[in-house]
Every structure is written in structure tokens, then in C-alpha cells.
Chain A
């Protein structure tokens, strides 16, 4: 069975700093997809970034980038120049070809002014 582990329940950083959220996963499959979702307080879940396992190049979306280490089954999220609006719960997630998503327990990120 696939599992997703986020070892940092909560983090705080100052505005404009860079922060890295950790995620490890376990699967026996070779073709899969990894995601970071953001859930702001009392707002709906939105996709931050997506990585296809067969692509070696790390995905980037503006200030958000990932460090995908397939052999180590590691998928961390880096947020550069953090902003107050980045305050949210961040979920690392995994899916395979059937597309049901398996989520980690989340990391609560606070951006401090």
C-alpha cells in the first residue's frame, strides 16, 4: 500500500524567507504522480505543484519548486520569498494510474510579518 509521510506538523517563517517542507512516500510502482496541495484557513484545497515520476526535471511554479528524489522517495516543496498569503496547511499527495489521491497528514505553515 502507498503511504505519504510529512514529518513536520507545523512550521513558522518570516515573510520573504525561503522555507522547505519535507515529504517522503512509499510505493512499489514505477509510474505515479506527486502533488503539493494548499488548504488556506477556511478555504478550499488548491493544487500548488505537480510532478510526474517519470520526469527527472523538478517541477517549478513561480515561487514554488520541488526537489524530487525518486530513489530516496522524497518530494520536498520549497517556497521562495514567502508571502503572508502562503499561510496554509500544505499536503503532500500521491496518485497512481487510478488517480485516487493519498494525502499526507499535512504541515501547517505560518508566515510571520
Chain B
């Protein structure tokens, strides 16, 4: 069990560029979550998947954001036309089938800086 991995760990981009982040969950976990954490704050829920189905999206997830989990394994989070306000840590977590407060295991995050 290698844990949840995220790539890249750091990304610096210029305003207006598109960026894509990848998350690889723990292999037997069919739930995958994305959170965003700004400096000095707790993580905020963005979206989650059960297998390949995206079950919920937060209103924080504007139409510039899109997430996919095409084969129910890894997931990608894309931000189009980045803005300075998108600068944050993007966290991915995975868990076993849910509904019972299953423990979510977090990855190390991708820190995005938009210049």
C-alpha cells in the first residue's frame, strides 16, 4: 500500500494558463475526493467520485474547474484560465465504500501558485 499520491507537488503558472493535477488513490478505494486549502484555513470540499461517477460538485467549483476519473482509478483536476485566487493547496483523498464515515486518506497535495 503506497498511499495516495499526487502529481505534481508544486506548480507555478501564469494567470490565464491551464493546469492539470493528477491523483492516484489507494488501489482498493472506490471513493475519491478533491479539497482545496488556502493559507491558514481548513480544507474545503470541491468534488468527489464513486468509481468513475462524479457524485457531487461544490459551488466553489466554478465552470473553469473540471474533474474526471475515467476508469475509476486515478483522477485529474483541471483548472482553465487560472486566476490569482486559484492559488492554494489542492488535496486529494480516497476511502473505501462510504456511508459509514470511512476514514479518508489524504495525499501530500499539489501547491499551486498563480502569478
B33 in contact with A46 (CB, 8 Å): no
Interface size on B, residues (CB 8 A): 27
Q: Which residues of A contact B93 (CB under 8 A)?
A: 45, 101
- How near does chain B come to A59, taking the closest CB pair, in angstroms? 12
**Total contacts A-B at CB 8 Å:** 61
A95 interface residue (CB < 8 Å to B): yes
Choose from B31, B42, B95 the contact partner of A91 (Cβ within 8 Å): B42
B21 interface residue (CB < 8 Å to A): no
A78 interface residue (CB < 8 Å to B): no
How far is it, in angstroms, between the C-alpha of A46 and the C-alpha of B106 when the chains are bound? 7
Q: Which residues of A contact B107 (CB under 8 A)?
A: 44
A50 in contact with B101 (CB, 8 Å): yes
B45 in contact with A33 (CB, 8 Å): no
- Contact surface of B with A, Cβ cutoff 8 Å: 31, 33, 35, 40-45, 48, 55-56, 91, 93, 95, 98-109
A-B contact pairs, 7 of them (CB 8 A): A4-B42, A45-B43, A98-B98, A99-B101, A101-B33, A103-B42, A105-B40
- Contact surface of A with B, Cβ cutoff 8 Å: 4, 32-33, 35, 37, 43-47, 50, 52, 91, 93, 95, 97-106
